[in-house]
């Protein structure tokens, strides 16, 4: 039997074959579309999770950048016995676990040995001061902590130096000093104006006469350059260059923010007892 379709004579067998092909194609299309929909349904939560995770990482990255950028430093006390600075968090987010370290440029001849208190760096172990930890000016369980939380809109204090006049021994090593007669040993002592740098234990006997803790180093009081680095769980590290210029009204000044690359070069110079290259002041960072 033949049928006339669009003016063409088509046999029933051919028509049946075309219908079968069409049915197979339609079935295949719907099967593929159903598979695609099922796959999309299964992948949707995974894609949503990945997008959410990516968004969280981007938000965290922006927050870290914002907190780091907004960290500021100010000098709040530099009269009387020492220098105190404050790390300021002007944002609406707290900063957890902030840690501060100090790098300082001096020469071995600047290191003094005080008679009535101990320091970690002295003539027997005269080493450069590179990224040594400080402690915060607060008390936790009877001691000054090495890490500190800075609440939103708040500040945290660091005591960097103490000024004092003490009997010291000049730049002879311990073995050389012991070999001198008592009469000659007397000439190794002098009264010195000192700039005492804090350690992670604070200032030791300077603050507490019965303490067994030590300050970091006792230096002759004169101008120095130093670099204060602060890092936390919520920020990347930020470094300020500072100068102790030893002027009556303003002996201490904040110079500028230092990049990580600059800090590496500075620390290399300090380790080699070299004076790092000085840069022009940038007052906008204060």
User: Which region among 128-137, 139-148, 154-163, 256-265 has the lowest average model confidence (pLDDT)?
Assistant: 139-148
Q: For residue range 192-218, what is the model confidence (pLDDT) as tens digits? A: 788 889 888 888 777 666 677 888 998
Pairing mode, strands 215-220 and 119-121: parallel
Give the number of other Cβ atoms within 10 Å of residue 38's Cβ.
10
| Per-domain boundaries in the chain | 8-64, 71-285
Burial 163-177 (b: 16+ CB within 10 A, else e): bbebebbebbeeeeb
The pLDDT assigned to 182 comes to 62
Mean pLDDT of 277-283: 53
Q: Is 275 a residue whose pLDDT tops 90?
A: no
Which phi and psi angles does 203 have, rounded to 5°? Answer: -110, 5
Of all residues in the chain, the percent with pLDDT exceeding 90 is 20
Statement: residue 228 has pLDDT above 50: yes
Q: Which residue has the higher pLDDT, 140 or 157?
A: 157
- pLDDT band at 108, cuts 50/70/90? confident
- Give residue 229's pLDDT: 94
The pLDDT value recorded for residue 285 is 41
Nearest C-alpha neighbor of 81 from the set 179, 159, 136, 173: 159
Q: Do the Cβ atoms of 158 and 207 come closer than 8 Å?
A: no
Give the predicted TM-score (pTM) of the model: 0.71
> What residues have CB less than 8 Å from 65, skipping those under 6 apart?
236
pLDDT for 173 beyond 60: no
Is residue 231 predicted with pLDDT exceeding 90?
Answer: yes
For the segment 4-44, what is each residue's pLDDT rounded down to a tens digit?
444 444 455 665 766 676 777 777 666 666 666 666 666 66
CA–CA separation, 102 and 13 (whole Å):
94
* Distance, CA of 102 to CA of 98 (rounded, Å): 14
pLDDT bucket at 105, cuts 50 / 70 / 90: very high
pLDDT at residue 47 greater than cutoff 60: yes
> What is the total residue count of the chain?
286
């Amino acid at each position: 039997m033949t049928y006339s379709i669009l003016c063409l004579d088509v046999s029933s067998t051919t028509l049946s074959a075309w219908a079968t092909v069409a049915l197979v194609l339609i079935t295949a299309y719907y099967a593929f579309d159903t598979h695609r929909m099922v796959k999309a349904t299964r992948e949707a939560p995974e894609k949503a999770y990945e997008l959410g995770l990516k968004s969280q990482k981007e938000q965290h990255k922006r927050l870290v950048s914002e907190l780091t950028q907004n960290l500021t430093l100010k000098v709040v006390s530099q009269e009387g016995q020492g220098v105190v600075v404050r790390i300021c968090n002007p944002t609406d987010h707290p900063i957890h676990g902030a840690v501060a370290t100090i790098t300082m440029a001096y020469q071995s001849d600047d290191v003094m040995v005080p008679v009535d208190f101990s320091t970690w760096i002295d003539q027997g172990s005269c080493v450069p001061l590179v990224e040594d930890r400080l402690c915060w000016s607060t008390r936790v369980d009877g001691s000054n902590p090495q890490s500190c939380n800075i609440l939103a809109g708040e500040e945290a204090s660091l005591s960097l130096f103490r000024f004092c006049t003490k009997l010291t021994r000049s730049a002879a090593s311990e073995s050389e000093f012991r070999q001198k007669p008592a009469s000659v040993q007397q000439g190794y002592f002098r009264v010195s104006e000192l700039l005492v740098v804090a350690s992670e234990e604070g200032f030791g006997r300077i603050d507490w006469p019965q303490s067994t803790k030590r300050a970091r180093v006792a230096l002759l009081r004169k101008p120095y350059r130093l670099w204060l680095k602060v890092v936390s769980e919520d920020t990347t590290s930020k470094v300020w260059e500072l100068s102790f210029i030893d002027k009556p009204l303003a002996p201490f000044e904040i110079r500028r923010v230092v990049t990580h690359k600059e800090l590496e070069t500075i620390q290399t110079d300090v380790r080699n007892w070299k004076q790092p290259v000085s840069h022009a002041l940038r007052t906008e960072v204060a």
